[in-house]
Homo-oligomer: A and B are copies of this chain.
């Protein structure tokens, strides 16, 4: 564990600020205060706010890809992979943050093009990964759903992003968990036989 470079610590602080306040509600001054370093020094690492924003999106997106790869190494079954995917989101919310790209999706009309492209790519990559997992689960019978896997994947991403968004405005983890459980239940295979009318959630 080498000590973090200044440019990385800038990204850490800026990422947190974007996840909590949004892209347009944080400033170099905020990062400066938090890091105990002057504004001008920040501009040395990221000349413009757009540069910082692009670095932020790129790191977040590739970090997420890494996390997805880790899930695939650790879990073999589709349902376990799905659960780990949900846990990824839950971990963000537990730290009282919103998914950074969900946040940026709200700000999208005000973002430089390179950032917008990064955000779109984040969602595309998430859905592609999920679609693969879902399709595999349907093939081996551990999951069940109708229609294209890509559509089911988009549904999962939307539900989770929406659950985070709404949970921030209302409650916290409990509402998120309820929505997440319901989303996963959508993909569960039907019970073997003789449905004795038991609660599924």
Contacts and interface: CB of A to CB of B under 8 A. Distances in A.
Contacts of A25: 24, 107, 109-110
A62 B106 CA distance: 23
Interface string A103-120: 111111110000010011
Interface stretch (A7-15, A75-83, A145-153): A145-153
Contacts of A162: 157-163, 165
A14 to B, nearest CB: 15
A137 interface: no
A68 to B, nearest CB: 17
- Complex copy number for this chain: 2
Interface stretch (A33-41, A42-50, A128-136, A175-183): A175-183
Nearest to A107: B22
B158 A123 contact: no
Contacts of A147: 182, 199-201
Given A22-B110, A158-B166, 17 more contacts: A25-B109, A102-B165, A103-B106, A108-B169, A120-B170, A146-B200, A146-B201, A154-B166, A154-B175, A155-B159, A155-B179, A155-B183, A157-B166, A158-B175, A159-B159, A159-B179, A165-B165
